Amino acid sequence: CFQISCQGATSITTFAVFLCDKIASALCRAVYERTALDIALDMQGKISDFNGNRSSLEVCILKHLAEEENFENFKVYISHPESFLKSYIRRRVETYCLDKNRRLEKFLDYSLTRCYESIQSAVFLATSVVKDRKDRNDKISLWLDEFCSALGEVLSLPRSDLKSIEHQEITDIEFLNNAMAEALAPLKEDLKEGFAAADMSCFERQPHEILAEQFAGCWHQCPFCGAVCTNTMPNHDGDHQLIFHRPQVLTGYRWHRTDNLVIDICSSSVASDCMFRIGEDTWIPYKKYRDAGPPYSTWNIPPDPSMQAYWKWFVCHFRTQLEKRYNGKFHGKGEIPSSWQKIKKQDALDELEK
């Protein structure tokens, strides 16, 4: 009798260890998946950059760029707005999670505790359902059914992965309950130890990617000034459009056969008698810009002379860098108005807020 009970105990322990091995990798995945979501939600709630729409995030980015006053970063933002936005979010997430407070560790601990409690309650639930069932000989198969079902959405542990242990001759379900508790304990501690060295590379689905999804939309840039379409749908119907266009020097426009950089905005050009060139020698009146075909014909640019103070400040502040980058000068037709030179950075930022 003693030998049989020893064999029973051994097979229960073997069963518990095998099952916990299966749980270990699923638990690790679940903790990181849940943590990525938690970080994104937490930052949405606590950081003003992320609790609005893409236009409000755009304002935060422009303020950040003005505070940095780094022309190289402006270049990336103007040429590659989508990748700049994503890297901006990624940097904010890394700072938030890995600063001196080591929030990442706390997030992981919290997720681990919740997932671990769900596993414990699934063990308890499966045991309480199965232990008094006298009508079933395949108690272990039934216990596994209940266990996997109780885990539900918390852990991805397919029932089919446990076929090899469902035929174990185990009758003492209470003992199994205790063996599971014992086998689960080190699992939690092992994971917890790893959190001290965890960094953002541990995530399969990155928190910054989850955050960035909230700011999806159209990324088409105005063919004249490079400003981004403000439609919130990536493949929207109808024309691309935006509220404020920028000085065309931002995409390198110069007046024909001169070194004069263009400080006009497209929305005032379309009301003028000026023309623009496509290809080597095809000239199109701005008023008929749609005749130039795509991408021009996919934009709606209503006549509007209003330009944001921000870009006037930018042109004045980075005058030398812009002249060097586009091999031109702000003189002649590209003379910067004296009114622009009076705009202080703070005035430009205050206007953005409105």
Under a CB-based contact definition with an 8 Å cutoff, are residues 43 and 92 in contact?
Answer: yes
What's this model's pTM, rounded to 2 decimal places? 0.87
- Per-residue pLDDT of the chain in tens (354 residues, 90 and over written 9): 323 333 445 678 888 888 999 999 899 999 999 999 999 999 999 999 999 999 999 999 999 999 999 999 999 999 999 999 999 999 999 999 998 888 999 999 999 999 999 999 999 999 998 887 776 667 888 899 999 999 988 888 888 888 877 777 777 888 888 899 999 999 999 999 989 889 999 999 999 999 999 999 999 999 999 999 999 999 999 999 999 999 999 999 999 999 999 999 999 999 999 999 998 889 999 999 999 999 999 999 999 999 999 999 999 999 999 999 999 999 999 999 999 999 999 999 999 988
Burial-class residue 15 by CB neighbours within 10 Å (0-12, 13-18, 19+): buried
Structure confidence at residue 8 (pLDDT): 47
Q: How do residues 86-102 score in pLDDT, each as one tens digit?
A: 999 999 999 999 988 88
Separation CA 175–CA 136 (nearest Å) = 18
Strands (E), 197-335: 275-278, 282-285
Number of continuous H segments (helices) and E segments (strands) in the chain: 13, 2
Question: To the nearest 5 percent, what fractions of the chain are helix, strand and coil?
Answer: 65, 5, 30
Do residues 209 and 229 touch, judged by C-beta distance below 8 A? no
pLDDT tens profile 293-326: 999 999 999 999 999 999 999 999 999 999 999 9
Q: What's the pLDDT score for residue 135? A: 66
Tokens linked to 270: 């379309």
Rounded CA separation 334/109 (Å): 59
Nearest to 89 by CA among 66, 57, 111: 57
